[in-house]
Structure formats: structure tokens, C-alpha cells
Amino acid sequence: MNITRTAQKSKNSPAFEVERIRADFPILSLRVNDKPLVYLDNAASSQMPQPVIDRLTRYQTTQHANINRAVHYLSEVATSEFEEARRKLQAFINASNEREIIFTSGTTDAINLVMHGYGRKMIGPGDEIILTTLEHHSNIVPWQMLAEEKGAKIRIVPINDAGELLIDEYEKLFNSRTKFVGATHVSNALGTINPIKEMIAFAHARGVPILIDGAQAAPHIKVDVQDLDCDFYAFSGHKLCGPTGIGILYGRAAILESMQPFKGGGDMILSVTFEKTIYNTIPHKFEAGTPPIAAAIGLGAAVDYLSTIGMDAIAAHELNLLQYATEKINSLPGVRIIGTAKHKAAVLSFAVDGVHPHDIGTLLNQDGVAVRTGHHCAQPVMQRFKIPATSRASFAFYNNIREVDALIDGIRTVQKVFT
């Protein structure tokens, strides 16, 4: 009896109070075209809660100076808050050491850092780099640039019709020339969650280092880089309720220490003479010049905010939204979901028969619904499905069921206009 009552109680009083969370995001009360904003473009960039906005204001109004330089009060405060943010990020992804957290300008910058710092030193003519069909252009183009420079070759892991990687094919791509793997944790275009832990283990068993593009994963699922055992993990602050212009490259200390610096300048050195420069230790070796200090501190506040809600609770709520939206979209005749992987994050790419995604996007916007339309910087995925573009709704933990309904009503309106 007691057990039943407890079970019912927990079912009826969900720990996840989405309306209370929504109240933390000022932008969500905006009206667009005289309709409440329905922001479903979170895979492109997320919105910022008041605690993060307040933290940025507090930094700019009471703590700002350049870091690692002067002995005055403000410089010491700014330096200590900046390094505190690094430790928050370390805890957020469970890195074993704060020296393994490098502040970059974003995921793209982080991947370019690895390409220049590791790739240009370690990859040579005839070597092979494995990437997947699901990569964002930011985890394709830097490696193509390297392959062209070095005479290396890029091998691609194919996907099935559901948008899942063919892991057998991945394993077959390895040979004695394989020197590096780059794989996305979650596909930005389809939402597929890749089995990266298995992929990492397979690469490591062959002595091949692997970079994980976590831009779409870090905001939605608990990331533990020690459990994953990856060599590099890259993600962006602005998809994580933080500011733009800041991102993280996690790298295992040993591999970071073996790497060349990417950018030269101040802060990344121990001493400079015109004869010889001695580089600083990690992570500073990779942080030349004045970093985006406010953005880093803001990102620290953002991961505090997310951790208070709990990444597991966030993932569970988003999965509910995804399942509800998937059911609703599947019930609409003439609408097809692109990307039907078994394990998906809350990304819903879809096509409406006879209607171009741009027309869908413009008409949904009329109803205040913000979705992304286009190739999502993942043209190889589009080519695989033989479509030029999709419409994509991507959910965050602050979205609710009413907003999914607004999307569905909007798609019905689009279909009515185009009948």
C-alpha cells in the first residue's frame, strides 16, 4: 500500500518543473509576430538564464581586468574567477585535471587546435584519418585541409537509412595507416547518438587517438571524459546556456603535453628572446593572447546552472519532448522525419511533401516558431538522404509540450497554405 502510494506520488509530482525553469529565461517571454516565441533552434544556439546574465554583469561591473598579468586587486580577482571557471568545466565533464581544460572560442576553434597542434605533427603522407558521415563541417574541413597539406587520406564511416553509423564498416576502415579518428557524439542534423564509448575503445585497441565533437552532446547528456576514455572532447559554450565566443577543448594531459602550440603570442610562453622561446605549460600553452574572460566565467555559471537542474533530469525531459513530438509528426500525413535512429537526442529533422524547407521556416516564423532550415552545415548527411535541406526542430530542457503543439499546428498551417 505504502509502496503504491509512493510510486504514484513520484509519478504525479515530477521533479522537473519546466515552468519554473522557463521563468529563469527572460527571452522566453518574448513575442514574435504577435505570438509567444517558440524557440526550437537550440541545436544552433541555446538561450541564457538570468543567473548567467547576472554573473556576466557582476564580472563586468566589479571584477574585470586582464588576467595572469598584474599584481593589482582586479587582475587577481579576474584571474582567480577565470581559473575557477576552468575547474567548474573540469567537474562538468569529469576531467581528472584542470590542466586538461583549454578555453577556445568554440568547438570549431577546438578542432582546429587539435588539427594544427596534433595533426600537423603526427600525420604524414599516406596516413589515414577516419571521420563519419554524420560530422558537422567543422569536423570535416580542418581534416581535409590537413590531408591536402600532408598527402593524407580521409576515410568515411557510412550510415544506414535511420541515420545510424555502421559500426562494422567503422571497424573495417582501420589499418596500419590509420592515425586519427574524428567522430561526433550526437549528430546535429539528425540527432543520432553515436556509440562513441565503443568507438573509442576500438580505436585505442589499435593505438589510434580519437577526437569527439561534443557540441550537440554536452548540452543534453552527462559527459564523463574519463569514463569515455577519449583523447579529445570539444564543445561550445553558447549551446550550453553560456555566451558565444567561448568553448572547451578537453585533452588528455599526456597528449596535450606532446603537442605543438596552435597560436603564438602572450600568455603561452615562459620566456621569449629572439634566439629562443620557451612555451608555457598546459593549458596555457594553448591559450595565446587575452582570452574571452567574461565569457569563460559566464560559461562557468552556465554549467553550475545546468548541474543544479541535473543533466540526467535534463536528458529525461528532453527525451519526453522528443517522443511526444515524434508521435505527433508521424501522425501528420505528408510529413517525414529524417533520422530515425534508436538512440537520439532531442533533434527532429523533417521534410514536408511538396514544400521547400525555406518556405516552412518562413511560415512557422509567422506563428512565432523558430526552427532551422537548410543543410545544417552537414551536407554529407543531406547527400546521403538525397535531399538539399531539411527543417529542424531542436529542443532544450526549457521547452514544453505546449511548444511542441505550436510546432505541429504550424506545420498544419504550412500544409494548408500549400494545398
Partner 1 sequence: MSDYRSLYQEVILDHNKKPRNYGTIEHPQHHAVGHNPLCGDHISVDISLNDDRIENIAFQGESCAICKASASMMTVSVKGKTRTETETLIQEFLAMATGKLSHEACPNIGRLAVFAGISDLPTRVKCAILPWHTLHSAFTSEGTTSTEAEADPMHAPIGDA
Binding residues (CB under 8 A) for partner 1: these are: 33-34, 355-359, 362-363, 365-366, 373-375, 379, 382, 388-389, 417-418
Task: Considering the complex, state which of residue 5 and residue 416 has its C-beta at the smaller distance from partner 1.
Answer: 416
Helix or strand holding residue 394 (H, E): strand 390-394
Residues 6+ positions from 163 with CB-CB distance below 8 Å: 134, 187, 190, 191, 192, 338, 339, 340, 341, 381
The least distance separating partner 1 from the CB of residue 212, rounded to whole angstroms, comes to 27
Task: Considering the complex, state which of residue 324 and residue 418 has its C-beta at the smaller distance from partner 1.
Answer: 418
C-alpha cell at 317: 525531459
The least distance separating partner 1 from the CB of residue 106, rounded to whole angstroms, comes to 16
The least distance separating partner 1 from the CB of residue 416, rounded to whole angstroms, comes to 10
C-alpha cell at 109: 576553434
3-state secondary structure of 357: helix
C-alpha cell at 176: 596500419
Task: Considering the complex, state which of residue 63 and residue 394 has its C-beta at the smaller distance from partner 1.
Answer: 394
Give, to the nearest 10 degrees, the angle between helix 311-330 and helix 293-309.
80
Task: Considering the complex, state which of residue 79 and residue 366 has its C-beta at the smaller distance from partner 1.
Answer: 366
Residues 6+ positions from 283 with CB-CB distance below 8 Å: 86, 98, 99, 100, 101, 102, 103, 256
Cβ-count burial of 299 within 10 angstroms (0-12 exposed, 13-18 middle, 19+ buried)?
buried
Task: Considering the complex, state which of residue 266 and residue 374 has its C-beta at the smaller distance from partner 1.
Answer: 374
Task: Considering the complex, state which of residue 342 and residue 416 has its C-beta at the smaller distance from partner 1.
Answer: 416
Which phi and psi (to 5°) does residue 55 adopt? Answer: -65, -40
3-state helix, strand, coil in the chain (%, to 5): 45, 20, 40
Nearest to 378 by CA among 368, 367, 361, 390: 390
The least distance separating partner 1 from the CB of residue 363, rounded to whole angstroms, comes to 7
The least distance separating partner 1 from the CB of residue 315, rounded to whole angstroms, comes to 30
14 CB neighbour count, 10 Å cutoff = 12
207 CB neighbour count, 10 Å cutoff = 8
The least distance separating partner 1 from the CB of residue 417, rounded to whole angstroms, comes to 5
d(CA 282, CA 53): 30
331 CB neighbour count, 10 Å cutoff = 9
Task: Considering the complex, state which of residue 171 and residue 409 has its C-beta at the smaller distance from partner 1.
Answer: 409
**Number of residues that make up the chain:** 419
Residues 6+ positions from 380 with CB-CB distance below 8 Å: 133, 135, 140, 156
Contact in structure between 131 and 182 (CB atoms under 8 Å): yes
Active-site residues, by number, are 377
The least distance separating partner 1 from the CB of residue 373, rounded to whole angstroms, comes to 8
